[in-house]
A and B are shown apart, each in its own frame.
Chain A
Amino acid sequence: MDVVLDNLDEFLGGMQGTVVLTLVSFACAFVLGVVVAGFRVSPVSPLRFVGAAYVNVVRNIPLPAIFILFYFGLPNVGIGYSRFTASIIILAGYTGTFVAEAVRAGVNSVARGQAEAARSLGMTFPQTMRTVIVPQALRTVVQPIGSVFIALIKNSAVATVISVPNLTKSVERVVTDTAEFTPVYLGAAIAYLLLTLPSEQAVGWIERKVAIRR
């Protein structure tokens, strides 16, 4: 266990990296996902097309491939970001597709009468979405979006591919330095579980809080 204590700073830094990567990119992914879901259900077909194209392309490329393409490929066309910014953009862009699909499913689970009532009150499509449909839709998709969040905690480990500080990167570094395996991996596993298991509980709690019984 000494290895973990000796390298506590490294691990805490890694944990902080994982948390920051997850929270920042989730915030971006959430906004992006809701907007794209709006595109995908809008009555304007070019918007639907753009939404569908984005979701189907990005979701079907493996995350490590996106990291390599973005970080090592795009500088060839003069687009370069710092490692951290690149990770945020990639994780948010990738996760955004899953949020979009979840929200879209939620939107479609809202009873038809809601949209019809809103329209007969004279609301426009954006108004209907913003004030009637999306608030109800988000309540029904707490569970799927919660799983997307937890998947993001785990996916942030892929940022190790471009050497962004996070828990998995810390594991690699400490193992290389000390050649100690058991305590390092075990410590990291516990650290990850400390993030993922409470998140799962929190998702369940939020769901019970906001659920609408229909």
Chain B
Amino acid sequence: MTAPVLADALGPRGRRTARIVSVVTAAAVAAAVTLAFHRLRDNGQLDADLYRPFTQWAAIRFYLVGLLNTLKVAAVAMVLAMAIGVLLALLRLTRSLVLRVVATIYVEFFRGLPLYLLIIFSAFALPNYGIDLSLMTALILGLTVYNSSILGEVFRAGILSLDRGQTEASYALGLGYWQTMLLVLVPQAARRMLPTIVSQLVTLLKDTSLGVVIAYEELLRRSQIAAEFFGNTLQSVAFAAVLYIIVNYSLGRLAQRLEVRQRRRLGAGAINVAGAGEDLAIVAAQGEAGRADR
């Protein structure tokens, strides 16, 4: 938990207010939990039968395979999106007007569309044009196209944030445009943007659940199937939600740690790109960095 930066040690009156607010908050939380408990019990949602599947290996396995599919799709889409993202960033920074325009149109077009639309297009419209993809490939295609446009912007911002001296030094050494970019600028930009890239990975991982609309058996779809089979929608889907929270929260923490490290190393150099993860752990970063300095 981050320490509050807006108040110093409370005086007697402040402490009293804080105590009162604490008690009221605790009471409100307790009331909410009790209410939820009664709701669940009165509607028979606490019956052991509804939870029994989650004690059986077959059901757990069913979920884990779903999670595995989710991770597989996310991993493939992320790798492809990063590769295409780097390419887009480089194209947007070339001197060739045509390439710049093409890359800009790609980025602006796909960044402005809902992923939902791209995924149903890949799965249901492409066969009409004679392109028949498996559900998994369709999902990966949608995710890749969308995320590459976002990562393209991330990499571009990263490259632009680097000191000009880097570019000038490489040119002075006789490196060409592509060599400068790939050997000097992109590696530095990628490191600098690592926290943003990881939080984009969290977003991508959550977005794989759109597989549910094309009936690809990732985690959410499988929880839906389990819900129909066991007749316990609330429990089955909530179980998947818990798995999502565990995975995403861990990745989110990782992004935060990376950002903290980054800030310590670069001062305020870690940049934040609009449209990306939105995971701004500035307090945590400043707090922890401050502590490390001391």
Contact of A76 among B206, B234, B274 (CB under 8 A): B234
Asked if B4 and A41 make an inter-chain contact with CB atoms under 8 angstroms apart, the answer reads yes
Convert B235-246 into 0s and 1s, putting 1 for each residue whose CB lies closer than 8 angstroms to a CB of A.
001101100110
Report the separation of the CA atoms of residues A104 and B22 in the bound assembly, to the nearest whole angstrom: 20
Report the separation of the CA atoms of residues A171 and B120 in the bound assembly, to the nearest whole angstrom: 10
Asked if A98 and B237 make an inter-chain contact with CB atoms under 8 angstroms apart, the answer reads no
Asked if A157 and B114 make an inter-chain contact with CB atoms under 8 angstroms apart, the answer reads yes
Asked if B43 and A62 make an inter-chain contact with CB atoms under 8 angstroms apart, the answer reads no
Asked if A50 and B21 make an inter-chain contact with CB atoms under 8 angstroms apart, the answer reads no
Closest Cβ neighbor of A171 among chain B residues: B117
Report the separation of the CA atoms of residues A62 and B242 in the bound assembly, to the nearest whole angstrom: 11
> Can you name 9 A-B pairs with beta carbons within 8 Å?
A46-B21, A46-B25, A46-B26, A48-B2, A60-B244, A104-B280, A143-B274, A154-B112, A188-B117
B266 at the interface (CB under 8 A from A): no
Closest Cβ neighbor of B116 among chain A residues: A157
Report the separation of the CA atoms of residues A174 and B8 in the bound assembly, to the nearest whole angstrom: 60
Asked if A197 and B5 make an inter-chain contact with CB atoms under 8 angstroms apart, the answer reads no
B-chain residues with CB within 8 Å of residue A73 when the two chains form the complex:
233-234, 237-238
CB-CB under 8 A for A154 and B238, given A47-B25, A48-B1, A193-B109: no
A88 at the interface (CB under 8 A from B): no
Closest Cβ neighbor of B20 among chain A residues: A44
Closest Cβ neighbor of B18 among chain A residues: A44
Report A145-175 residues with CB < 8 Å from chain B CB. 146-148, 150-151, 153-158, 160-161, 168, 171-172, 175
Q: Chain A's nearest CB lies how many Å from the CB of B108?
A: 7
Binds A, one of B121-129, B155-163, B183-191: B121-129
A102 at the interface (CB under 8 A from B): yes
Binds B, one of A4-12, A24-32, A125-133: A125-133
Report the separation of the CA atoms of residues A177 and B143 in the bound assembly, to the nearest whole angstrom: 27
Asked if B220 and A74 make an inter-chain contact with CB atoms under 8 angstroms apart, the answer reads no
B267 at the interface (CB under 8 A from A): no
Report the separation of the CA atoms of residues A80 and B153 in the bound assembly, to the nearest whole angstrom: 41
B-chain residues with CB within 8 Å of residue A115 when the two chains form the complex:
5-7
A-chain residues with CB within 8 Å of residue B128 when the two chains form the complex:
181
Q: Chain B's nearest CB lies how many Å from the CB of A46?
A: 4
Asked if A44 and B25 make an inter-chain contact with CB atoms under 8 angstroms apart, the answer reads yes
Report B226-278 residues with CB < 8 Å from chain A CB. 227, 233-234, 237-238, 240-241, 244-245, 248-249, 252, 272, 274-276, 278
A-chain residues with CB within 8 Å of residue B227 when the two chains form the complex:
72
A-chain residues with CB within 8 Å of residue B73 when the two chains form the complex:
none
B-chain residues with CB within 8 Å of residue A56 when the two chains form the complex:
245, 249, 252
Contact of A185 among B21, B121, B220 (CB under 8 A): B121
Report the separation of the CA atoms of residues A181 and B125 in the bound assembly, to the nearest whole angstrom: 6
Binds A, one of B53-61, B77-85, B90-98, B208-216: B208-216
Q: Chain A's nearest CB lies how many Å from the CB of B3?
A: 10
Contact of B21 among A44, A68, A148, A150 (CB under 8 A): A44
A65 at the interface (CB under 8 A from B): yes
Report the separation of the CA atoms of residues A134 and B207 in the bound assembly, to the nearest whole angstrom: 32
CB-CB under 8 A for A63 and B114, given A43-B14, A45-B1: no
Asked if A197 and B25 make an inter-chain contact with CB atoms under 8 angstroms apart, the answer reads no
Asked if B220 and A41 make an inter-chain contact with CB atoms under 8 angstroms apart, the answer reads no
CB-CB under 8 A for A102 and B280, given A77-B45, A147-B275: yes
Q: Chain B's nearest CB lies how many Å from the CB of A115?
A: 5
CB-CB under 8 A for A43 and B213, given A144-B280, A175-B124: no
A-chain residues with CB within 8 Å of residue B2 when the two chains form the complex:
40, 48
Convert A52-64 into 0s and 1s, putting 1 for each residue whose CB lies closer than 8 angstroms to a CB of B.
1000110111111
Report the separation of the CA atoms of residues A192 and B227 in the bound assembly, to the nearest whole angstrom: 34
Asked if B29 and A46 make an inter-chain contact with CB atoms under 8 angstroms apart, the answer reads yes
A-chain residues with CB within 8 Å of residue B234 when the two chains form the complex:
69, 73-74, 76-77
Q: Chain A's nearest CB lies how many Å from the CB of B145?
A: 12
B-chain residues with CB within 8 Å of residue A157 when the two chains form the complex:
114-117
B282 at the interface (CB under 8 A from A): yes
B286 at the interface (CB under 8 A from A): yes
